[in-house]
Amino acid sequence: MLIPPPNTRSLTFLFQVVYAIYKGFDRLLISFSLSHTHRKHLSDFAMGKLPSTARPIFFLHSLGLMLTCMYTERDAKQHQTLSKASKNYVEG
Q: Using one digit for the tens of pLDDT, what is the confidence trace for 44-57? A: 888 887 776 667 77
* DSSP track, the chain: -PPPPPPHHHHHHHHHHHHHHHHHHHHHHHTT-S-HHHHHHHHHHHHHHTTT--SHHHHHHHHHHHHHHHHHHHHHHHHHHHHHHHHHHHH-
Average predicted confidence (pLDDT) for the chain: 77
Reported residue count of the chain is 92
Summarised one tens digit per residue, pLDDT across range 59-80 is: 888 888 888 888 888 776 666 6
| Nearby residues of 42 by Cβ (< 8 Å), 6 or more positions away | 25, 28, 29, 34, 65, 69
Separation between Cα atoms, residue 75 and residue 13, nearest integer Å: 34
What is the model's pLDDT at position 73? 80
Threshold 0.85, pTM exceeds: no
Does 1 score more than 60 pLDDT?
A: no
Percentage of residues of the chain with pLDDT beyond 90: 4
In this prediction, residue 24 has a pLDDT band, given cuts at 50, 70 and 90, of very high
